[in-house]
Amino acid sequence: MGLELYLDLLSQPCRAVYIFAKKNGIPFELRPVELLKGQHHSDAFAQVNPLKKVPALKDGDFTLAESVAILLYLSRKYEVPDHWYPQDLQARARVDEYLAWQHTTLRSSCTRAMWQKMMSPVFLGEQVPAETLVSTLAELDRCLQLLEDKFLKDQDFLAGPHISVADLVAITELMHPVSAGCQIFKSRPKLAAWRQRVEAEVGKDLFQEAHAVVLKAKDLPPADTSIKEKLKPSVQVLLR
């Protein structure tokens, strides 16, 4: 059994791993884990990742969780082009720094924005209080400003002149609020230009393919009661 990637393209980190593997021609079996059906809670999946999260990787007997760990594992094992995770000491440090920053900032605000603006009302049938949404979108705005000012600056990509895993992780995050109808690129020409560059490097077709699921999330039928009960506990924290 070769490399298996347990993914749901609804999830931002799953999209980053998917794009990376496909772009680099890494052969893998896709093992879909549908979050909205609660499949991440199954006993079978717990064998792969006891923390019940996607993405997860299985390579023979070796299992691995956490998108950053998976991206780095794949980049080393499959000897992908250097720019993804550069050998150069300072360039690599810039990638590490971005990956560390985004985890507790942009990631959190993108997930919340998407759930509070769209998934909760559409899928769970629950409106989130207006003040909560306003506060979340303000937080997202602050994160986007930092993304532009501290990381992107006047560079073509987040860690320098070439695309790296940092850009993949970032773009897949930003597509979350985009899927909820947030116009995050409209008033931010710098970010919009960066997005175009990332899409071009990844390839338009692969980019569209990776984002098909999340961009159609707003058309999901409402969840049935049993699914709602199953998902609610883990989703509560996103609605605050």
Partner 1 sequence: MGLELYLDLLSQPCRAVYIFAKRNGIPFELRPVELRKGQHLSDAFAQVNPLKKVPALRDGDFTLTYSVAILLYLNRKYKVPDHWYPQDLQACARVDEYLACSHDSQRRVCLFLIYKKVMFPVFLGEPVSPEMLAATLAELDATLQLLEDKFLQNKAFLTGPHISLADLIAITELMHPVGAGCQVFEGRPKLAAWRQRVEAAVGKDLFQEAHEVILKAKDSPPADPIIKQKLMPRVLAMIQ
Point out which residues bind partner 1 (CB under 8 A).
50-51, 62, 64-69, 72-73, 76-77, 89-90, 92-93, 96-97, 99-101, 103-104, 146, 149-150
Please, which residue, 100 or 215, has the CB nearer to partner 1? 100
Please, which residue, 31 or 103, has the CB nearer to partner 1? 103
Name the minimum Å distance from CB 70 to partner 1: 8
Please, which residue, 96 or 141, has the CB nearer to partner 1? 96
Please, which residue, 67 or 179, has the CB nearer to partner 1? 67
Most distant CA atoms of the chain, gap in Å: 52
Burial class (CB in 10 A: 0-12, 13-18, 19+), 127: exposed
Name the minimum Å distance from CB 159 to partner 1: 11
Name the minimum Å distance from CB 1 to partner 1: 16
Name the minimum Å distance from CB 89 to partner 1: 6
